[in-house]
Amino acid sequence: MSSIVESSADLPDEAATLAFAASYAKTLVAPCSVALIGELGSGKTTFVRGVLRALGVVGSIKSPTYALVESYDTAIGEVHHFDAYRIDGRDDFLSRGGFEYFATDSIRFVEWPENLEDSVVFDRIVRFSFEGTGRRVEVDHLGENRRS
């Protein structure tokens, strides 16, 4: 199935990324799995932080780089933020309990989804790229709530 670009935007700074994330948060309905694609420093974690703030999370929002996943209770239910950068394939993700989060009615954001070796079906892809001194984001819709 080919994807359809739902939206794209130039993000000249962190404030623009957070504003885009707040707008994006309004489109989320669980269950939903979102792949976050982009180089280091391209805005993936900042984007998730903006989504979480828009969904009412207060207090510390940590990067899941070392913990694999950080989970949050939000105004629309549970949101899980994964960083698969240090994951070595499907079996590693399985042994760390990663797939258990995908069996719930939650929203899952996954940075570095390619390290999961296509073992997760994503509903959306959010791509971040460097453009000039800022960033560019594209949101692809793959068919909400697909199951394999």
The tens digit of pLDDT for each residue in 90-121 reads: 899 999 989 999 999 999 999 999 999 889 99
How far, in Å, CA of 7 to CA of 104, rounded? 27
How far, in Å, CA of 72 to CA of 33, rounded? 15
DSSP 8-state class, residue 56: T
Question: In terms of DSSP bridges, do strands 69-74 and 124-131 run parallel, antiparallel, or are they unpaired?
Answer: unpaired
| Global pTM value | 0.89
How far, in Å, CA of 11 to CA of 128, rounded? 9
Confidence of residue 141 (pLDDT cuts 50, 70, 90): confident
Query: Distance of CA 143 to CAs 6, 12, 58, 146, Å?
Result: 11, 29, 31, 6
Kindly report the average pLDDT of the chain as a whole number: 90
Domain ranges of the chain: 9-130
- Tokens matching residue 3: 């994807």
Is residue 5 pLDDT above 70, yes or no? no
Residues 6+ apart with CB under 8 A from 145: 31, 32, 123
The highest-level CATH class for domain 9-130 is alpha beta
Confidence of residue 1 (pLDDT cuts 50, 70, 90): very low
**Adjacency order of strands within the sheet including 107-111:** 4-11, 134-141, 124-131, 32-37, 107-111, 77-83, 69-74
Q: Which parts of the chain fold into alpha helices (H)?
A: 14-25, 44-54, 90-95
The tens digit of pLDDT for each residue in 41-88 reads: 899 999 999 999 999 999 999 888 888 999 999 999 999 999 999 999
How far, in Å, CA of 117 to CA of 26, rounded? 29
Query: Distance of CA 108 to CAs 11, 12, 16, 24, 140, Å?
Result: 23, 26, 22, 14, 16
